[in-house]
Chain A
């Protein structure tokens, strides 16, 4: 008997979990988060934008976010959908370019939340989150403390 390759294997795609996560297209590239900055007032947004909601200007420029940010605040989630291990740290990460993003933070003990987490420098990385109903690999971004941080 020969092993048969399921049809979905051929068409399987690797997709970002959100559209503001850019996945590398080659081995030289790094993944990154992107957004928009208002040319008029300087407000910065994660992801796509129709207009600046601070000043209503429609003059925006794309921004690539650095991969190191800081924890602004967090919650520790103990009740989550069945495929998500708990407890996990759900943080708001401030990015140096002036926007903030929701993210899961790993590498810290979720049972020991503490003041030391405020302002902690964290580094973005990507990993597979799950396989979608269509059979695609869905990739997410997460953050973990910077080496030696």
Chain B
């Protein structure tokens, strides 16, 4: 595998775009990323398009039909919330293996006002009876609620500590013009907000929305023709959920993350202490706290104390989700994976504006797709 660089990124502000089609969102992100990379759409040799809700409707091809039908290979990928970052990884593998020199990955999603996710899958024969509520609960807020409560059981973590995660991310979002919501909430208001699944209140759950992000990947040699300091994608790892004791009853978001983190740090030749910033998968506030430990940003059981002591904001040990995270930046499912990467790239280049983490040289982007998939991308400059 040869070295792969990220030559360009683009992202649409998350929000609701009822007047646009999802391929238009994706196309805008691709155009922005190509411009950022100094290339034309004509230069792309592969397009990997991540989209979940329209996975079978050829979103990648529809994007090219808008901005450049060059006849290049188009792959449409889906991996739940890890869709966008899986798209980046497929492009990375193609470039790294020498199958092409320039590849574009795009993640897009248009969700409307979808409400609660999870619980059922479509069965073409209509088999099965709905179990939601009658035999436990399988919606996303419950899965992540139960995971948080498990952490309470093991380590005595409190509802307030989980709420502090949301407080931090909402506060961070005020500085991010691309975030769907850019509002700080007092901790009390977060804790007293409408309960969704205890211990996650409304402000501790990510919103639904529309958005897109794109990444241009190039062989590092080619990238060095344009810039003396390209951002290098030092590791791009993908794992699925290995067998663990309760995984089939309560989706285990930790084991596959730890596996991915171990592989990523090894491939990138760094440890968690070397990270200047992290964009991780805070679909729910409880998830983020678990991931501090899963990514080795603090020891097992230390997550609560770490958030109390401000380890994960500016001036702390490792700024986490300075973009505002999924909680406030938003979570258009297929887009998120690509946008976390874009965010890290901006910081590494010193282009993150008011939310810039000073002197950032190494960053990590992490996503979990329930079902499950975990991507970890480590970028260096």
Contacts and interface: CB of A to CB of B under 8 A. Distances in A.
B199 to A, nearest CB: 8
Interface centre among B136, B141, B250 (most CB of A within 10 A): B136
A78 B133 contact: no
B197 A103 contact: no
B18 to A, nearest CB: 24
Interface stretch (A3-11, A24-32, A57-65, A79-87): A79-87
B113 interface: no
A78 B195 contact: yes
B133 A75 contact: no
Given A79-B116, A92-B249, A104 B134 contact: yes
A15 B129 contact: yes
B146 A140 contact: no
A81 B196 contact: no
Given A79-B196, A138-B129, A130 B246 contact: no
A66 B243 CA distance: 23
Contact of A100 (B131, B153, B246): B246
Contact of A118 (B136, B153, B245): B153
Interface string B125-161: 0001111111111110111011101101100000000
B248 interface: yes
Interface residues of B, number: 35
B141 A101 contact: no
A103 B136 contact: yes
Nearest to B144: A75
A89 to B, nearest CB: 9
A74 to B, nearest CB: 6
B197 A81 contact: no
A78 B149 contact: no
State the main secondary structure of chain A at its contact with B: strand
B21 interface: no
B4 to A, nearest CB: 33
B207 to A, nearest CB: 14
Given A54-B243, A74-B149, A113-B198, A140 B134 contact: yes
Contact of B146 (A43, A73, A99): A73
Given A75-B141, A75-B149, A78-B194, A53 B129 contact: no
Interface string B238-251: 00000101101110
Interface size class of A (residues with CB under 8 A): 35 or more
Given A75-B146, A76-B195, A132-B129, A46 B134 contact: no
B161 to A, nearest CB: 15
Nearest to A118: B153
B246 A75 contact: no
Contact of B248 (A45, A87, A115, A141): A45
A92 B135 contact: no
Contacts, number: 126
A43 B132 CA distance: 26
B134 A76 contact: no
Contact of B150 (A73, A113, A130, A141): A73
B133 A102 contact: no
B198 A76 contact: yes
B134 A102 contact: no
Contacts of B243: 43, 53-54
Contacts of A142: 134-135
B153 A102 contact: no
B135 A100 contact: no
A103 B196 CA distance: 18
Contacts of A100: 245-246, 248-250
Contacts of A46: 248-249
A102 B299 CA distance: 29
A75 B138 contact: no
A103 B143 CA distance: 12
A102 B129 contact: no
A23 interface: no
Contacts of A132: 129
Contacts of B199: 75, 113
Interface of A: 15, 17-18, 43, 45-46, 53-54, 72-81, 83-84, 87-88, 90-92, 94, 99-104, 113, 115, 118, 129-130, 132, 138, 140-142
Given A77-B145, A80-B132, A100-B245, 8 more contacts: A46-B248, A72-B150, A73-B153, A75-B149, A87-B195, A92-B136, A101-B249, A140-B134
27 contacts: A17-B129, A46-B248, A72-B246, A73-B146, A74-B146, A75-B137, A75-B141, A77-B133, A79-B141, A83-B133, A84-B133, A90-B145, A92-B136, A92-B146, A92-B250, A94-B246, A100-B246, A102-B250, A103-B135, A103-B136, A104-B134, A104-B135, A113-B198, A130-B134, A138-B129, A140-B135, A142-B134
